[in-house]
Amino acid sequence: MSFSKRQLMLTGILYLLTLACAAPLFAAPTPNANAIATASPLATQAGHDILAAGGNAFDAAIAITAVLAVVEPYSSGIGGGGFYLLQEADSDSAVMLDARERAPLAATRDMYLDPLGEPVSGLSVDGVLAAGIPGIPKALATLASQYGGLPLSRSMRPAMDLAREGFPVTQHYRRMAGFRLSALRASAASGVFLHHGEVPALGHIIRQPDLANTLGVIATGENGFYQGKLAIALVEGVRAARGIWSLRDLAQYQVIKRVPVQGRYRDMTITAAAPPSSGGVVLVSMLNVLEQEDFTSLSVIDQVHWQIEAMRRAYRDRAEYLGDPDFISMPIDKLVSKGYARELHAQINPQQATPSSSLPVVTNEQEVRRSTGTDTTHFSVLDHQGNRVSATLSINYPFGSGFTVPGTGVLLNDEMDDFSIKPGTPNVYGLIGAEANAIVPGKRMLSSMTPTFVETDNGLLLLGTPGGSRIITMVLQAILGYESGVEADEIAGLPRLHHQYLPDRVQYERGTLDAALVDKLSARGHQMSEEQSVWGNMQLVHWNKKTGHLSVGTDPRGEGAARVKKVVDSSD
Ligand code: GLY
> Is the pLDDT score of 556 beyond 70?
yes
64 or 489: which leads in pLDDT:
64
Cα-based angle 234, 101, 288 (whole degrees, multiple of 5): 165
pLDDT at 363 over 90: no
Looking at the DSSP bridge assignments, the partners of residue 410 are 405
- Residues 324 and 443 sit within 8 Å (Cβ to Cβ): yes
- Given pLDDT bands bounded at 50, 70 and 90, which one contains residue 179? very high
Residue 267 has pLDDT above 70, yes or no: yes
Q: Please state, in angstroms and rounded to a whole number, the distance separating the CA atoms of residues 55 and 143.
A: 12
Q: Which atom of ligand 1 is nearest to the CA of 448?
A: 5
Which atom of ligand 1 is nearest to 417's Cα?
A: 1
Q: What mean pLDDT, rounded, does the chain reach?
A: 92
Q: Which of 38, 65, 271, 376 is catalytic?
A: 376
Give the pLDDT band (50/70/90) at residue 134: very high
The dihedrals phi and psi of 328, each to the nearest 5 degrees, come to: -135, 160
Distance 291 CA to ligand 1 centre (A): 27
**Bridge-based pairing state of the strands 81-87 and 95-99:** antiparallel
Q: What is the pLDDT of residue 551?
A: 97
447 lines ligand 1 (CB under 6 A): yes
Taking the CA of residue 415 as reference, the ligand 1 atom at the shortest distance is 1
Q: Given a cut of 90, is residue 90 above it in pLDDT?
A: yes
**Is the distance from the beta carbon of residue 376 to the nearest atom of ligand 1 less than 6 Å?**
yes
- Which is nearest to 106 in space by CA: 79, 129, 81? 129
Asked if the model's pLDDT at residue 391 lies above 80, the reply is yes
**Which pTM was predicted?**
0.93
pLDDT at residue number 14:
45
Q: Is 448 in the pocket of ligand 1 (CB under 6 A)?
A: yes
What are 381's strand-pairing partners?
36, 389
Residue 300, classified by CB atoms within 10 Å of its CB into exposed (0-12), middle (13-18) or buried (19+), is: exposed
How far does CA 245 lie from the centroid of its chain?
A: 25
**In this structure, which residue's CA is closest to atom 1 in ligand 1?**
396
CA–CA separation, 112 and 125 (whole Å): 10
Phi-psi region of 206 (alpha: psi -120 to 50; beta: other; left: phi over 0): beta
Residue among 96, 394, 432 whose CB has most ligand 1 atoms within 8 A, to mutate: 394
